[in-house]
Structure 1
């Protein structure tokens, strides 16, 4: 019998929280982990003191499995090496490494040698087979997902394709999962657990801007679009977002439309920036990148992260009790 996600990572509930840059801070990640699932903070481009500050909050906020998400294609091999060095040197072993997209093969060996779990999100069967062969937990991301898209397959098509090639591997499904019923469909397709993103954007502990949360909870599937307009900071990758004046008219000038603060450092936000609006962002929020998956219509009113986890405990393989 193949291992469940819960068994591999040592969870009460076989559920991963997406490490969404800006939105998923240490507070959200630790709340999810303390509820029995696997929280994950978005490392994005953080390095040096800013990354250390986040890692310290992660390590002290929970003694349960909790992750830090890094993005190989955004930072490049050298910066990823520096980020990984900080993670492995500055955190205890209950902090796992989560990667959005495939890194160089040596990264798999480096994480394994440090005794850490590695979770890799993929969008193709080829990448998933390679990641599993190198020892990673594989997250199969379908085009139903919010945020940047790694492939062109639907979630269940990708899960089924991976399962056919990897009968014994641990595979989690991602994309369009906003209800226990949808999670059960992903499990039926061959998943050993699930990853949720949009459902946690609106959680109390999320750092998403309040207007962003309101727009997500009010949205239906038809309010999302796949586009490539939010490319400043992350070029060459399609993404699913809520429809905005910017997606409707991508010929607008690339001028600054807001300001934000990341780990104490101020930044200007240009139109077409890949950065999401957070609680530290001001300006034209409704023109910014409002990442949102097809699960939006199934997401209930804003709740604590622990309640999101509890909704899915009964349908995911290997789940036991949910911590209060």
Structure 2
């Protein structure tokens, strides 16, 4: 019998939080983990002292399993090696490594040798097979997801294809999951758990800017578009965002439209930046990258992270074998 996501990661419920750079700080990750799910802080481009500060808050804030999300294609092999080394050196074994996209095999071996759990988000069958062969929990991301997209398949199509090839692997579904009912559909396709992003963007503990949160709760899936305009800092990757004046007219000049602060350091934000607007950002928030999945239709109000976890607990398996799911009559924000 294959393990549930909860069983693999030592959780109470098979629910993972996406490690969204900027939005998913240590506070959100710890709140999710303390509620019994898998919180995950966004490492993005953090390094050296800035990364150390975030890791310190993460390990102080929870004694439960919690993750750090790293992005191989953004920081490159050398940068990723340095980030991985810091996480391994500065955190206890309950902190797992989460990768958005495939790291090199040497990274898998290094994390495994340190006894760390590894989660890899993929968008293709090929990458999912490779990650599973390296012993990772595989997150199958469909195009319904908000943020950067790793493939071109819909969520349940990818989950089913991976389950057919990987009958014993631990698979987690990602993309368009904003209600317990949608989580049930992903489980029926063959998933052992789910990963949520957009539902946690609007959590009270999220660092998303207040206007970003308000835009997500007011939107439905028809307000999202797949684009490639927010490429400064992360080129060559399509992303699902809320439609903005920038997605409508990508010929505008790439001038500075705001300011932000990351771990105490100020930065200017240009139009077309991949950076999300956080509670430390000012300027033309409505023109920035408002990453949002199709799940926004079911997300109509802000809530505490623990409330989001609780809404999904009744339909998701725990640490034992998969249970019979009772249909939930609620959805986040309703």
TM-score (norm 1): 0.98
2:54 match: 54
CA distance in 2, matches of 1:300, 1:315: 20
CA distance in 1, matches of 2:212, 2:6: 31
SS at structure 2 position matched to 1:261: strand
> Quick check: 1:6–1:319 contact (8 Å CA) kept in 2?
yes
Within a 5 Å distance, the mapping from 1:257-296 to structure 2 comes to 257-296=257-296
Q: What is the deviation of 1:201?
A: 0.1
Moved over 4 A (4+): none
CA distance in 2, matches of 1:103, 1:70: 9
SS at structure 2 position matched to 1:98: strand
CA deviation string 1:36-81 (max 9, x = no partner): 0000000000000000000001111101000000000000000000
2:154 match: 154
Aligned residues: 320
1:94 match: 94
CA distance in 2, matches of 1:61, 1:300: 28
Q: What is the deviation of 1:216?
A: 0.2
CA deviation string 1:220-255 (max 9, x = no partner): 100000000000000000000000000000000000
Within a 5 Å distance, the mapping from 1:141-290 to structure 2 comes to 141-290=141-290
Q: What is the deviation of 1:299?
A: 1.2
Within a 5 Å distance, the mapping from 1:7-18 to structure 2 comes to 7-18=7-18
CA distance in 2, matches of 1:113, 1:319: 24
Q: What is the deviation of 1:318?
A: 2.2
CA distance in 2, matches of 1:113, 1:128: 21
> Quick check: 1:124–1:150 contact (8 Å CA) kept in 2?
yes
2:307 match: 307
> Quick check: 1:313–1:319 contact (8 Å CA) kept in 2?
no
> Quick check: 2:10–2:319 contact (8 Å CA) kept in 1?
no
* RMSD between aligned residues: 0.7
Stretches of structure 1 lacking an aligned partner (at least 5 in a row): none
TM-score (norm 2): 0.95
CA distance in 2, matches of 1:300, 1:29: 22
